[in-house]
Chain A
Amino acid sequence: MLRAGPFSDERIVRQINRRFVPLYFDLNPGGALADNKARGFVVKARKELGGASVNTPPVLVMTPDGDVLGEVDNYASEETMLDSLRDVLQKHADWNQPSDDEKKIARSGTPLERANVLFDLGNVDAARRLLEKETGAAESALLAHLCRLAKDWDAMEKALARVKGGELEDDARVERAWHRYAEHDFAAAAKEVAAVGKESRRTTEARYLVGLAQWQQGKKDEALATWKATIEHCSQDPWIYRADWAFTQASEGSDGHGSFSTGGPRTSPLGRIGYMGRRNPDLDPP
Chain B
Amino acid sequence: MEFVEFAVLATLLLTGTLARAADGARDQTGIQWVLPFPEALKKAKAERRLLLIKPIAFGTSKDGGW
Contacts and interface: CB of A to CB of B under 8 A. Distances in A.
B20 A31 contact: yes
Question: From DSSP, what is the main secondary structure of chain B's interface residues?
Answer: loop
A38 B37 CA distance: 5
Interface in B37-66: 37-38, 40-41, 43-45, 47-66
Nearest to B53: A60
Contact of A42 (B22, B27, B53): B53
- Which of B29, B48, B49 has the most chain A CB within a 10 Å cutoff? B29
B31 interface: yes
B7 interface: no
Given A20-B51, A22-B32, A238-B30, A27 B65 contact: no
A134 B55 CA distance: 43
Interface string A1-36: 011000110100100110111111111111111111
Interface residues of B, number: 45
B55 A25 contact: yes
A1 B33 CA distance: 17
B18 interface: yes
- Which of A28, A35, A241 has the most chain B CB within a 10 Å cutoff? A35
Contacts of A64: 41, 44-45, 51
B27 to A, nearest CB: 6
A54 B49 CA distance: 28
A175 B60 CA distance: 35
Contact of A32 (B20, B28, B32, B51): B20
A23 B51 contact: yes
Interface in A237-286: 237-238, 240-241, 266, 270-275
A21 B40 contact: yes
Contact of B63 (A60, A63, A271): A271
A32 B49 contact: no
Given A23-B37, A33-B56, A273-B58, A238 B29 contact: yes
Given A29-B17, A57-B57, 17 more contacts: A13-B31, A20-B49, A21-B50, A23-B51, A26-B21, A26-B66, A31-B17, A31-B56, A32-B60, A36-B18, A37-B38, A42-B53, A63-B51, A88-B50, A272-B66, A274-B58, A275-B58
